[in-house]
Amino acid sequence: MCADLTACTYKQLQHEASLSMQFWDNPTVDGFQCLLMTPKPLIRTSDHVFQLCELVKLQSSCKKLNLLSELMDHSGDYIHTALPFILSLLQQGLSQRIHLLTHSLSPDPKWSVESEAPKHKAQPPLSFGLLLRTEVSSSVLERGPPADSPKAAEFRQLWGPRSELRRFQDGDITEAVLWDGESTCQKRLVPKQIITHLLQLHADIPKSCVRYVGAMVDDVIKTGSEVSGTGEEESLVVVQSYDDLSRKLWRLEGLPLTITAVQGAHPALRYTQVFPPRPLKLEYSFFDREKTSRSLVPKEGKPCPVYITPITVICHMEGSGKWPHDRLAIQHIRAAFHIQLGELLRKHYSYTCRGHGRPAGGVAFPAARSLYCSQVATTFAFLIFFSFPHRWPSFASFICSPPLTGGTIR
């Protein structure tokens, strides 16, 4: 029953047994259906999957790994001969990046006694699965032992020419391997770089024989930017801009009511928007500056300005019992809030603010609010809503801009 049982298969058995006990002990889950009736192909139980094609290449792997005596023990079956050593090599290289390395073998072939046995190279590709540690699997740096450590030679032997001495900020000089990856989606494929490098270096298996399936859906949502990405970096920039705006709002003094909370209400602030708003740099030669409203007006014959997606933010104000009962008076007080907030932003942070709105159901319902961030010389728009307790929400609309970036394009 345990013939040809590899160490990875044994660890997989332990992992599956642990998960099975968790299902059986959970009264809210139908353990029988989950464990005994639900198919579990490798693609569903692993984060990344890859296959080794052209299995005839494993003959050269046996020679490279000096497995000729083991090959004789397996009667020339170079697949079963090389597999344990390949698994050990990958386990050593992936190390802390994975929870589990699994593999699957095709069933033993059957043939008629009147015909020749099928060739080993006729077997289907070998399949492998990776259960990743997401917190470290995408790290581009593989830091090794110090240069004077006895383990440094083993590290250099494992990684070959990719290993090099590096000096770190803490002053240590150690062996290290730096993998390629600028964007987050590229870093997610660092395990692929490790696998192809180790197989080529130690087992003479070329990159063309590795069919890797991981983060393939990312190709659907990649943008046309210079550094190909899937939105993680753009979302981080949005969150940083929101944090900067939030800190400035919290530090404001002089408002009739105190801001009690600043809440982001946009999918990009929750990292759930596929295409988050991107910072845009305006081409000011396409605009004329309108002095009265301090706005940018597109020139005739120039391209239409790009649409800047607003990022929704809610400012919660403290309660007050001094609100009037007249609707027109409430509108005037809210307008005074808008004017006062614009003056404070202009005074303390050099933003140019302009409030505007449109009537909706007889109540002034401001339409939009934009903020152009000068920290990176790019443009972001923030649509800020003000919420007053015990009153309907008041929605302020400003277009805020540092002096160097111009005014509104709306």
Report pLDDT for 137: 92
CB atoms under 10 Å from CB of 143, counted, come to 14
Give the fold, CATH level 3, of 7-109+116-139+179-220: Alpha-Beta Plaits (3.30.70)
pTM of the model: 0.77
Report pLDDT for 159: 95
- Residue spans per domain, the chain: 7-109+116-139+179-220, 141-175, 232-405
Report pLDDT for 156: 94
Under 8 Å between Cβ of 58 and 199: no
Report pLDDT for 353: 67
Three-class DSSP category at 98: strand
pLDDT tens for the 410 residues of the chain, in order = 677 788 999 999 999 999 999 988 888 888 888 888 888 888 899 999 999 998 899 999 999 889 989 988 888 889 889 999 999 999 999 999 999 999 987 777 788 888 888 887 778 899 999 999 999 999 999 999 998 888 999 999 999 999 999 998 888 899 999 999 888 888 999 999 999 999 999 999 999 999 998 877 777 777 665 666 777 888 888 898 889 888 988 888 888 888 899 898 889 999 888 888 887 777 777 888 777 766 778 888 777 777 778 888 888 888 887 878 887 887 777 777 777 877 887 788 776 666 655 544 444 334 333 333 344 344 677 777 777 775 544 444 454 444 434 433 33
- Chain centroid to CA 144: 26
Report pLDDT for 51: 94
Residue 240 to residue 246: CA distance in whole angstroms: 10
The DSSP 8-state label assigned to residue 334 in this structure reads H
Report pLDDT for 356: 58
Q: C-alpha angle 43/49/50, rounded to 5°?
A: 135
DSSP 160-227: GGGEEEEE-TTS-EEEEEE---SSHHHHTTHHHHHHHHHHHHHH---GGGEEEESSGGGGGS--SSSS
Map 110-130 to HEC letters: CCCCCCCCCCHHHCCCEEEEE
Report pLDDT for 124: 86
